[in-house]
Amino acid sequence: MEKTILSISGKPGLYVLLSRGRSTLIVESLDEQKKRMSVGLRDKVTSLNDISMYTDDDDVLLSSVFDNVFKFNEGKKVDIDPKKASKEDLAKFMAKVLPQYDRDRVYPNDIRKVISWYNILVENGITDFSTPDEGAEEAAAEPQTEA
């Protein structure tokens, strides 16, 4: 994700980082209102690029999970309502998207967040889920030819 997308504890939805101050962040909500606000030191702010999901092997970055969901749904929103879906429906969905996810440590609420966050991102046209580091690694891995 080229923009810094944030989750703020205690506040619904996702936010885009606009600016940094000495002890605050200026963010804008990723919803219809596009409300701007400052976030202080007391708020727990997490970048989506720093979140990962437990699997049977190693942890998988959330951006990779979003990429799997994007491919699985062919770029469309997930049609499961995360608030009303049963635990079984959520587990079936996650098993299709990320078959190796750790069924003991990934809770239904975690899957609900993945679905709702993915839908927010797709609604706002954010569909490039590679992190800036991944893009740099891919560019470095490509052989360069001299002209």
- For the chain, domains (ranges, CATH) are 5-48 (2.30.30.730), 51-131 (1.10.10.1650)
Lowest mean per-residue pLDDT among 7-21, 23-37, 65-79, 118-132: 118-132
Q: What is the mean pLDDT of residues 124-138?
A: 66
Q: What's the CA gap between 104 and 92, in Å, rounded?
A: 14
Q: How confident is the model at residue 2 (pLDDT cuts 50, 70, 90)?
A: low
Q: What is the pLDDT of residues 54-103, one digit of tens each?
A: 999 899 999 999 999 999 998 899 999 999 999 999 999 999 999 999 99
The token duo for 20 is: 């940094």
Q: How confident is the model at residue 1 (pLDDT cuts 50, 70, 90)?
A: low
**Cβ–Cβ < 8 Å for 127, 70:** yes
Count of Cβ atoms closer than 10 Å to residue 105 Cβ: 12
More confident residue, 132 or 15: 15
Instruction: Give strand ranges (E) for 36-134.
Output: 36-39, 45-47, 52-53, 60-61
Q: What is the pLDDT of residues 41-53, one digit of tens each?
A: 888 999 999 999 9
